[in-house]
Amino acid sequence: MSLEVKIPSVGESITSGLLSVWHKNDGDSVAAGDVLLTLETDKVSSEIQAEGPGVLRIKVPAGTDVKIGEVVALIEEGGAAPAPKKKDEPKVAPLPAAMPASEPKPAAAPAPSLSETVATANTALSVISENIPAESREGRSTRKKMSPLRRKIAQQLVMAQHTAAILTTFNEADMSAVMRLRSELQESFTKEHGIKLGFMSFFIKAAVSALQAVPAINSRMDGDDLVQNHFYDVGVAVGTERGLVVPVVRDADKLTFAGIERALADYAVKAREGKIKIEDLQGGVFTLSNGGIYGSLLSTPILNPPQSGILGMHKIQERPVAEKGQVVIRPMMYLALSYDHRVVDGKEAVTFLVRVKDCIENPARLLLGL
């Protein structure tokens, strides 16, 4: 008797995906709960587990587009694994989340930051990409199929530029006060909450304050209608080897700094374990994109439709600035706000960005809700 390994439904609007990796080889013995394959769609990546024990018989190779409900393998119950084949077969390393820790972690250890998790996820995803056989070498170049997520990103970016009147305005913020506050409170904050205080929570709080001050940016076009949002679900763009994902921090206006950092840490765990769900990526009203973690000094971010605004954060760099008639060195960050000019006027965009700048340069305003 055999168990069928079918591609499960991973979302109402998803009908197909890419079978990117087999984590087991044909003929391997598997146990119930073993991760068999990774399915990539235009929204999320999912790991499919074995429903019972037996010997795996693969019917569909990695790198194949598959439909929801399609049978991609069988698990023969009570079978024995055959002797190893003579020809070489690709071995796929498991994701780092599945690797045993080299030493136990203390119970009170703080959760990793989102940027640290992105680095871990990038490493894992590079292992996956190196083992996808759906590619061909043509002379001095290599051709391979785009992943569903990359195809979706390409469509979204082109659609955003074709349908919205995107304009970008710039400013810069002196990071001295935030850096000083983090340095002074980091130890006690970590001890109290079991998590580090990062820069992103300051910027999310600043963005919420600016959205409250300039409601036009917390709106979107829907046909001939203008929809005004009265909630503050803020997306945080995260780049990986697979592409860009934007998990959403829900009701950021109601969260403390610790609550925001904890929400980001939860997404960090999901990213590391490959468990980010579609609902984690939906419903954001505004997006923050931090190209500074990669060294970007300045950029013009593209809108995340149907949102009307996105804030680009960049590398903190010491620069000479004029202060009270004196030239001083300060840690500065360029800020970029891209917005839909159909919805947001230039005055509103500039006012929004100045509000963010003021909140970052005077973080006491955020702590006191001013």
- Judge whether 230 counts as a catalytic residue: no
Closest CA to 267 of 144, 121, 48: 121
* Separation between Cα atoms, residue 45 and residue 226, nearest integer Å: 33
CB contact at 8 A, 177 and 330:
no
- Judge whether 23 counts as a catalytic residue: no
Closest CA to 211 of 306, 351, 346, 343: 351
* Separation between Cα atoms, residue 168 and residue 179, nearest integer Å: 27
DSSP reduced 3-state for 32: coil
Which of 26, 233, 253, 341 is an active site residue?
341
CB contact at 8 A, 93 and 52:
no
CA atoms within 13 A on the CB side of 236: 26
Q: What is the DSSP letter of 23?
A: S
Q: Which amino acid is at 50?
A: A
The residues annotated with a catalytic role in the active site are: 341, 345
